[in-house]
Chains A and B, each alone.
Chain A
């Protein structure tokens, strides 16, 4: 990797200040950024580690019942601490990567990066969660803006994600054989006012809501409601591991499985 300065502040305010410098880059758990640096594919002037900031770590419950996950919380922590309140979210976190990834990687890092095959964006979007930063609150529907694109400004830090807890939910992932990222992942969440379905891994535009499935499931929350349904193959990713047609087909299959598994 190229040489860089390194800072590890202990407050969000100090981190935001350090990130004000040109070409400074926030470092979450480093599960994407460190390999990128090792390959010399990025050249930040400074890395600002968020791992020393206690105020953005941990899982708690808000007064309105929402589950609040600090931006610096590792997947392993979510897997264990969200289990009682939001089991589908905990299960998703517990199945990201491998134990090393889960004990370093953070939810803030994942959704700030917004890899089109990452798991977390589907949970955030399907839950209609709120992404809280050091500057503002952003609704999930406004947050994800395409491949590796988000509503975050330069230097903006994800401090918390607030998940309204659904009545029933499940995340099902069909793994890409090499990376074991989602070839297709579907998060289904049933709320009193309707069902939300978010799909990751499949689309050239990143995570998206499958509105036809949401409508079908809102009137009948059962796998059969999606029988014969699949999103259009147009705009789906086509690569070594599967064609656009295959991915579109899988979205239907995996969505039905998510509904069947929802609890």
Chain B
């Protein structure tokens, strides 16, 4: 490990000093002079016609400044969707409007009916309760299959039905039917990837501010991508040109995807601040977050695998219903399609793969990307299916996977993506070692002696990260570019400020990004400061999601730093009266090859800003460069995970005894941060596998609306992890050779857990093929007892 704090060093996270001493500056820490407070009146029914919203008495209550309803937003744009999916017939998806405040109808628990702005939060809440609302209840559409029945109530009256799109991708019908017709064995599995609530530690907050003297609006918000919010809100909702709109996302306490999207509350606060000429602040409570933050997953899938007589995979077919909820959030249509269908081949060379996804509107909170976004759903169904196939065929689950691995790269899958590099046997070799597979049978006997059933589960995963080539994304319906930007500003005395369009909300960018620059320049990372999260300070950037920050944002920083080095060498060559081609940069010193001439980094930077002795005829003064990096492909992190569980046959309770993760992330900048990302991701995956479940009843009421009923994983629910990322095949197309590690843990872990539970039950003689997540004690007991 390098000791100098450059690439590969496990440098402690510099931002943690701030976070751990209470010095972080989160959006709710920001308070403006003269600020007013917002309380939203939210629907307590899932579906209904708004007959009356009478704000008269409420408006007269103490402290109330103004009450807004849907009428105030009639001339204002709705919340836009950033991705248009084209269906199997070449038609665009059905795309309903999402008003800032409800107009005519409410469509889910938590839908926004009115917003009270008052002098204090308590006054705003008091007035919100005093608003008289009459709602004519309509039948709630909750179950996706029922939503698609011809006589189902429509969530959106102006759409044809509740089907957003019916999308087919991959191999054509002839290829798929050919594969299944000649199969020696077909394994079929129906499963649910349950809905989850993201629950970042920091709830959402928005503060709108307006300066009348300059006609400038500012939004402070808990966002993963401030520029995207500026573009979506400015251009599509409020009609504010970008030079009159600033979006600031300061310290953000976790996002997990749910802070990617542009939310109505952001538009409301910005709108109201301008209308009232006062700063307007909204802070979500945890209860409000349960019914207003976009939720995750929620797929129901039937998947089929065709194998030949030698156990080679010859065909894979899936049929998925994906819940959109009541409205389309920013990237929601892309999650079950391009972030899910394109990964359906997994690590395997199945020649025919076809994916069918029908996206459905229901009277539930909208669903969008949540850590992994589509890729966990793909991985879960495929890896559960392969496990079932292995059991049916009496094959070893590891050998069956190995037999079907893609081994030659680049490899183009039947679902359109091209894996540039990988070594799936390599990660499996590592896993077999760190999971101590050889010792399992003894551990199983020990468990049995204690009256417990022990199970071992394994799975592989692949993900597409580093979203992504703009030209490709555009062809697939994305309404944005997905490059990233960076400006590297070198100060006269040698220190640097790196301005990145990536946004850190827990990932440790302030530590790892400077490591890249320090490594390239041969200087100490403490000379480098990272700036992010403010559209007035950074170049147009696309933010952080899809494990893209290092592979795309880091590559932009790399390119900008290359430009800095090139210019600095010119200056150094002038100072040393040498040829530019002979100048070398090492350890922060410029020297001329083969001579004892050298100048220090600081001499060059000073010369750039005090250009007394300077080649002004050739180059400009100053040392500041910007680069935009648009990747040529996704990156493809992959790995193999193993889990061991003990099941208590009397209660059905599952305990995770060990968890091992062998990942290939390509090159690693900071191994400690990578370990942390994997740990957190596995924790989230174990949460999904064993605990978390967002449940609505048939009337659309949310049954799991607080932590009393929504089970988040806690420290004692998870084991110590064995994490290894030594099997590395560097990405071939970005300059750092990195792939991204933020989502792997959440993608790769749920199938290993469920595979292990099924294995444990089988070892106890229970003929259980599958249990839907969360694999709770009650569900395990019911499966064991056919209850």
| Shortest Cβ gap from A81 to chain B (Å) | 26
A39 contacts B by Cβ under 8 Å? yes
A246 and B709 in contact, given A39-B287, A174-B651, A240-B704 (Cβ under 8 angstroms): no
Contact call B704/A177, Cβ cutoff below 8 A = no
Contact call B787/A253, Cβ cutoff below 8 A = no
A178 contacts B by Cβ under 8 Å? yes
User: What sequence of 0s and 1s flags, for each residue 748-777 of chain B, a beta carbon within 8 Å of any chain A beta carbon?
Assistant: 000000000000000000000000001011
B691 contacts A by Cβ under 8 Å? yes
Instruction: Name the B residues within 8 Å of A253 (CB-CB).
Output: 650-651
B782 contacts A by Cβ under 8 Å? yes
A179 and B707 in contact, given A243-B782, A246-B781 (Cβ under 8 angstroms): yes
| Shortest Cβ gap from B197 to chain A (Å) | 11
Instruction: Name the A residues within 8 Å of B606 (CB-CB).
Output: none
Contact call A177/B703, Cβ cutoff below 8 A = no
**Complex: A183 Cα to B777 Cα, angstroms:** 11
Residue of A nearest to B652 (CB): A246
A83 contacts B by Cβ under 8 Å? no
Contact call A250/B707, Cβ cutoff below 8 A = no
Contact call A243/B650, Cβ cutoff below 8 A = no
Contact call B708/A246, Cβ cutoff below 8 A = no
Instruction: Name the A residues within 8 Å of B787 (CB-CB).
Output: 243, 245-246
Contact call A249/B708, Cβ cutoff below 8 A = no
**Complex: A253 Cα to B778 Cα, angstroms:** 13
**Complex: A80 Cα to B86 Cα, angstroms:** 66
Residue of A nearest to B778 (CB): A242
| Shortest Cβ gap from A174 to chain B (Å) | 6
**Complex: A21 Cα to B776 Cα, angstroms:** 47
Which of the four size classes fits the interface of chain B?
20 to 34
B135 contacts A by Cβ under 8 Å? no
Contact call A178/B708, Cβ cutoff below 8 A = yes
Residue of B nearest to A253 (CB): B650
A241 contacts B by Cβ under 8 Å? yes
B9 contacts A by Cβ under 8 Å? no
Instruction: Name the A residues within 8 Å of B651 (CB-CB).
Output: 174, 250, 253
User: What sequence of 0s and 1s flags, for each residue 234-251 of chain A, a beta carbon within 8 Å of any chain B beta carbon?
Assistant: 000000111101100110
- CB interface residues, B 380-439, toward A, < 8 Å: none
**Complex: A241 Cα to B695 Cα, angstroms:** 11
- CB interface residues, A 5-29, toward B, < 8 Å: none
Instruction: Name the B residues within 8 Å of A241 (CB-CB).
Output: 709, 776, 778
Instruction: Name the B residues within 8 Å of A177 (CB-CB).
Output: 690-691, 711, 774, 776-777
Residue of A nearest to B713 (CB): A177
B502 contacts A by Cβ under 8 Å? no
Instruction: Name the B residues within 8 Å of A250 (CB-CB).
Output: 651
A249 and B781 in contact, given A178-B707, A240-B709 (Cβ under 8 angstroms): yes
A240 and B703 in contact, given A40-B125, A250-B651 (Cβ under 8 angstroms): yes
Instruction: Name the B residues within 8 Å of A179 (CB-CB).
Output: 707-709
**Complex: A243 Cα to B787 Cα, angstroms:** 10
Instruction: Name the A residues within 8 Å of B776 (CB-CB).
Output: 177, 241-242
| Shortest Cβ gap from B9 to chain A (Å) | 37
**Complex: A39 Cα to B708 Cα, angstroms:** 14
**Complex: A119 Cα to B232 Cα, angstroms:** 51
B693 contacts A by Cβ under 8 Å? yes
Q: Which of A177, A240, A250, A253 has the most CB of B within 10 A?
A: A177
**Complex: A16 Cα to B545 Cα, angstroms:** 58
| Shortest Cβ gap from B774 to chain A (Å) | 8
**Complex: A236 Cα to B129 Cα, angstroms:** 36
Contact call B695/A240, Cβ cutoff below 8 A = yes
**Complex: A246 Cα to B782 Cα, angstroms:** 8
Contact call A243/B709, Cβ cutoff below 8 A = no
- CB interface residues, A 245-263, toward B, < 8 Å: 245-246, 249-250, 253
Instruction: Name the A residues within 8 Å of B711 (CB-CB).
Output: 177-178
B710 contacts A by Cβ under 8 Å? yes
Instruction: Name the B residues within 8 Å of A249 (CB-CB).
Output: 781
Instruction: Name the B residues within 8 Å of A245 (CB-CB).
Output: 787
User: What sequence of 0s and 1s flags, for each residue 610-653 of chain B, a beta carbon within 8 Å of any chain A beta carbon?
Assistant: 00000000000000000000000000000000000000001111
Instruction: Name the B residues within 8 Å of A183 (CB-CB).
Output: 777
**Complex: A178 Cα to B708 Cα, angstroms:** 5
| Shortest Cβ gap from B784 to chain A (Å) | 11
| Shortest Cβ gap from B652 to chain A (Å) | 8
- CB interface residues, A 195-254, toward B, < 8 Å: 240-243, 245-246, 249-250, 253
**Complex: A246 Cα to B703 Cα, angstroms:** 19
- CB interface residues, A 158-175, toward B, < 8 Å: 174
A246 and B707 in contact, given A40-B125, A177-B691, A240-B695 (Cβ under 8 angstroms): no
| Shortest Cβ gap from B109 to chain A (Å) | 16
**Complex: A229 Cα to B734 Cα, angstroms:** 65
**Complex: A40 Cα to B287 Cα, angstroms:** 12
**Complex: A174 Cα to B693 Cα, angstroms:** 19
**Complex: A243 Cα to B650 Cα, angstroms:** 15
**Complex: A179 Cα to B707 Cα, angstroms:** 7
- CB interface residues, A 173-187, toward B, < 8 Å: 174, 177-179, 183
Instruction: Name the B residues within 8 Å of A246 (CB-CB).
Output: 652, 777-778, 781-782, 787
Residue of B nearest to A243 (CB): B778
Instruction: Name the B residues within 8 Å of A240 (CB-CB).
Output: 693, 695, 703-704, 709
**Complex: A240 Cα to B697 Cα, angstroms:** 10
Contact call B781/A178, Cβ cutoff below 8 A = no
| Shortest Cβ gap from A199 to chain B (Å) | 15
Q: Which of A39, A178, A242 contacts B777 (CB 8 A)?
A: A242
- CB interface residues, B 674-715, toward A, < 8 Å: 690-691, 693, 695, 703-704, 707-712
Residue of B nearest to A174 (CB): B651
| Shortest Cβ gap from A2 to chain B (Å) | 8
**Complex: A250 Cα to B780 Cα, angstroms:** 13
**Complex: A187 Cα to B460 Cα, angstroms:** 45
**Complex: A53 Cα to B383 Cα, angstroms:** 61
**Complex: A39 Cα to B774 Cα, angstroms:** 28
Residue of B nearest to A252 (CB): B650
**Complex: A178 Cα to B704 Cα, angstroms:** 10
Instruction: Name the A residues within 8 Å of B778 (CB-CB).
Output: 241-243, 246
Contact call A178/B125, Cβ cutoff below 8 A = no
**Complex: A61 Cα to B602 Cα, angstroms:** 78
Q: Which of A241, A246, A250 has the most CB of B within 10 A?
A: A246
Instruction: Name the A residues within 8 Å of B710 (CB-CB).
Output: 178
| Shortest Cβ gap from A239 to chain B (Å) | 8
Instruction: Name the A residues within 8 Å of B287 (CB-CB).
Output: 39
User: What sequence of 0s and 1s flags, for each residue 124-154 of chain B, a beta carbon within 8 Å of any chain A beta carbon?
Assistant: 0100010000000000000000000000000
Instruction: Name the A residues within 8 Å of B691 (CB-CB).
Output: 177-178
**Complex: A253 Cα to B695 Cα, angstroms:** 28
**Complex: A259 Cα to B782 Cα, angstroms:** 25
| Shortest Cβ gap from A234 to chain B (Å) | 16
**Complex: A108 Cα to B693 Cα, angstroms:** 34
**Complex: A89 Cα to B652 Cα, angstroms:** 27
Residue of A nearest to B648 (CB): A253
The 3 residue pairs across chains A and B that have the minimum distance between CB atoms = A178-B711, A242-B778, A177-B711
Please list the residues of chain B having a beta carbon within 8 angstroms of any beta carbon in chain A.
Answer: 125, 129, 287, 650-653, 690-691, 693, 695, 703-704, 707-712, 774, 776-778, 781-782, 787
Can you list 23 contacts pairing A with B, beta carbon distance less than 8 Å? A39-B287, A40-B125, A40-B129, A177-B774, A177-B776, A178-B704, A178-B710, A178-B712, A179-B708, A179-B709, A240-B693, A240-B703, A240-B704, A241-B776, A241-B778, A242-B777, A243-B782, A245-B787, A246-B652, A246-B778, A246-B782, A249-B781, A253-B651
Please list the residues of chain A having a beta carbon within 8 angstroms of any beta carbon in chain B.
Answer: 39-40, 174, 177-179, 183, 240-243, 245-246, 249-250, 253
13 A-B pairs besides A179-B708, A250-B651 with CB distance below 8 A are: A39-B287, A177-B691, A177-B774, A178-B704, A240-B703, A240-B709, A242-B776, A242-B778, A243-B782, A243-B787, A246-B652, A246-B778, A249-B781
